[in-house]
Amino acid sequence: MKLSEMTMEQTKVAMIRLATPFGNICEDEDLVKMLDEFKNYWRLPLIVTVGKLLPRIISLCFDKHYTDLMEIISVFSEQPVEKVKTQTFAQAVAVLRENYDDLAATFFPSSAHAAKRSAKD
């Protein structure tokens, strides 16, 4: 379910559940370093940049943040984590594409920037 469609009570529960996994991912020093490298690739064709970063980001997220990813998908799909783990990758991606709305995109990138700033302090 989209955050923008949730009642206040549903949003409260969802935000509490989402805060930790998003925080874990945003505060990952290896991921922050990897994304900082993007600045060095901006002049390259997009396909080259994606080819350099995407495999590393996917590997890192699945290796270090699998539990966090399952919790995020669980919140948006309104399914228990155990059920999410039995879904296909395509189903999980579809849930995120369908339910990660402007409200979620607005809140969580600002969390990523805050985590990055606090890591530098």
At 78-92, the pLDDT tens digits run 999 999 999 999 999
The band of 75, judged by pLDDT with boundaries at 50, 70 and 90, is very high
Over 80: is that where the pLDDT of 62 sits?
yes
DSSP 79: S
Integer angstrom CA distances of residue 101 from 50, 75, 81: 23, 13, 21
CA angle 60, 47, 92 (to 5 degrees): 45
Worst-scoring range by mean pLDDT, 6-10, 16-20, 22-26, 101-105? Answer: 101-105
Indicate the angle between helix axes 102-120 and 29-41, nearest 10 degrees. Answer: 100
Residue type for position 3: L
